[in-house]
Amino acid sequence: MTEPLNIGRNRAQESTNAIERMYITMRHLFIRGFYKPMGVSGETLREALLTLRPEIYGTIGESKVELSGLQYIIERLPEGIEECSFINLTSDEGYSNSHFKPIIPPKRRRNCYRIDDEQMNIEITRGRSEIYDILTHLTFMFIESHKIMQNVVINEAGHTSRDWEKLKVAVLKEGDLSQKEKEIAITHTANILGRTFAEINQVYDRFATPENPHKFLHLIHSLGKLAIREVIHGDKRVITFSPIVRERLGHHIHGEVWANTIKKTLNEHGLLDRKLHIISANMHSVMNTLFSPIALEELLNEKSNFQVYEQLSNAKNEELRQTVTKKAKEQGMISLDDKSGTNIDVQIFDLAKLSHYKGSDKLYGNEDAPVIIVMDYAFGEQAYETMDELLKPFKDGEEQKAMNVESISIMGKAGILEGGKGDLMIPDAHLFEGTADNYPFHNELKKSDLEDQGLRVYDGSMVTVLGTSLQNRDLLKFFHDSTWNVIGLEMEGAHYQKAIQAAAKLRGNISEKVKLRYAYYASDNPLETGSTLASGGLGTAGVKPTYLITEKILEQIFNDAVQHTKS
C-alpha cells in the first residue's frame, strides 16, 4: 500500500532536484557570461526542464508543440525575440536615451531593445528572479523550436517538407491573407506542430497583434527557421550577460534609489515622522476603494461597489479611471512613477486629508493621522531588495531618521492547491522552496474576516517558490499532502518576511511590534488540468477578492488609527 506514496515522493524529489539543478546551472552560466542554449552549455538546463515538465509548459516532453505554454511565454518576452539569434541580458545601461525604441512585453514590465535583425537586449533591473524567469521561458521556447525543426527537416542535407514550404509561402506573401489562404496555411502548420486544424484555429487569434493578425504563422516560421539554421549550418543561438549586469546584480542599486525617492518625498511633505502603513498591492485597488465613493457618487447610487470596481478594472473605461485618479490627486494623493528601474510605482495617501471614507472624519485635519504607502508588486527576490531598502532609516545629511512603520500589508496573486480561481488564502507562515527555511508570523488578517462573502477562504502555510513556471503536479501534490499544511504558492512572501524580520528583530530599523497582514487570491490552481496560469488570466473573477482584501486591510488600518486618536 505504500508504493504509490513512495513513487509520488520519488517524483517530487526528482522535481525538487531538477529545480535545484536549474538554478545552480543558471547561476553558473550567469557568472560565465554567455552560453548556447541548444549547445553543450545549455544541455543541463534543457534536461532539467524536461525532467521537471512544469504544468505551465504542458506537453514540453512530447513531440507535439505546446500551444498554451507558447502563448504564455510570448506575452512575457519582447515582440520579435523569436527572430533573434543573439539575446543579451543587460542592466539599465542608457538605451532609454538612444534611438532604440523600448519594447515592453504585455504581461511583464521590462524594457527590451531590438538592436538589429539578429539581436535583442533585455534590461534586468529586478534581480535574479527576473533572470531565472527569462532563461526558463527561453529554454522552453528553444526546445519547442527544435520540435518544429525535427518535424520539417527530412534529410541530412537540410531539405524540408512540403508543409514547411507552404508555410513559408504564406509568411512571405505581401499583403493580407485571404480566409482560404489562412486556412491552407493553418492546415500545413497543424501537420508541422503535430496538432489538429481545430486546435490551431482555437489559439490563432490569441497570438495576433494589431500590426500582425497572422503572428502565429510568423512565430512558428521564425522559431523553425532559426532551429534549422542551428542544426544544418551550425549557427547556434547565443545568450549573453553584459559585464555591467554581472557587476551590479545583488547590490540593491535600483532598490536603494527607489526607496530613497519615497523617503525623500515623505520628508519634503512633512510626513516622515507620521505613523506609516505600507501596502504591497496593485496601483488601483486602494485608490479606487478610498476615492470612488466621492469621485463616482452618482454611479454608486445605481450600482454596487463591486459592479463599479469591475467597471474600473476594465481597460476600456479609461475615462472612469481618470475621474477617480483626478479626485485622488485633488485630495492629496502623491503619485510616484518609477524612474529607478525597479518598475514599482508608488502612491502616498495622507489620511489627514481624507474626510469622506468610513472613520476618516475622526482623522481629518489631525496632524498625527497616519500615512499609507502603496507599492506596486515586486518580482521574486526583488521583494527583499525593495522592502529591505524601504525600511532603512532616511539619511538627511548627517542625521538618520527612522521610519515609524505601524503595519505592513502584502496582498497578491498566488497559485492555490485546494479551491479555484478567485478563492482566498490567509497564511500564517512562508516556507522557502527547496530548503527547510520557514518564516512563521502573526497575521492580523484572519480567515473569519473574509468568510461569508461568497468566496472560499483557506488558511495555512504558503510556499515561496523560485519560479511559478517551474512547478509540476508531483511537486505540488507533495506540498499539498505534506504536514507543512501548504495552501498555495507564490514568489515574494518569504523575501518580504526575511526583510521585515531583519529590520524589526535584528537591525532595529522598525518596531518589533509592527503589524503584519498577508492575504492572497488565487490566480490559478496548478493541480487542476486547464486551470494553470497558461489557461489565461482571472478577468473579472479577480475583482471581488482584490477589493475584499483591500477593504479589510483599510478597515483595520482606520480602526487602529481611530483607537490611537481616542487614547
pTM of full prediction above 0.75: yes
pLDDT (0 to 100) of residue 9: 56
Q: How many CB atoms lie within 10 A of CB 332?
A: 14
What is the tens place of the pLDDT at every residue in 159-168? 999 999 999 9
Evaluated on CA atoms 195, 227, 220, 104, the torsion sign reads positive
Grid cell for residue 341:
528601474
Q: In which residue are the cell numbers 527547496 written?
A: 434
Nearest of 355, 346, 362 to residue 278 by alpha carbon: 346
Cα separation, 497 vs 501, in Å, equals: 6
Residue 2 has pLDDT above 50, yes or no: no
Averaged pLDDT of the chain = 91
**Residue 5 banded pLDDT, cuts 50, 70, 90:** very low
What is the tens place of the pLDDT at every residue in 229-265? 999 999 999 999 999 999 988 788 899 999 999 999 9
Cα separation, 435 vs 311, in Å, equals: 43
Nearest of 11, 125, 19, 61 to residue 463 by alpha carbon: 19
What is the tens place of the pLDDT at every residue in 395-438? 887 788 999 999 999 999 999 998 888 999 999 999 998 788 99
Cα separation, 479 vs 462, in Å, equals: 10
What is the tens place of the pLDDT at every residue in 82-105? 999 999 999 999 998 999 999 999
pLDDT (0 to 100) of residue 13: 86
Cα separation, 168 vs 185, in Å, equals: 9
Burial track 10-30 (b if 16+ CB lie within 10 A, e otherwise): ebbeebbebbebbbebbeebb
What is the tens place of the pLDDT at every residue in 461-496? 999 998 878 888 888 888 888 888 999 999 999 999
CA angle 397–403–404, rounded 5-degree value: 140
CB 470 within 8 A of CB 19: yes
CB 511 within 8 A of CB 388: no
What is the tens place of the pLDDT at every residue in 361-397? 778 778 889 999 999 999 999 999 999 999 999 988 7
Burial of 541 (0-12, 13-18, 19+ CB in 10 A): middle
Q: What is the mean pLDDT of residues 497-518?
A: 96
Could you tell me what percent of the chain has a pLDDT over 70? 95
pLDDT (0 to 100) of residue 538: 54
Listed in order, strand segments (DSSP E) in 176-247 are 238-241
SS3 per residue for 10-49: HHHHHHHHHHHHHHHHHHHHHHHCEECCCCHHHHHHHHHH
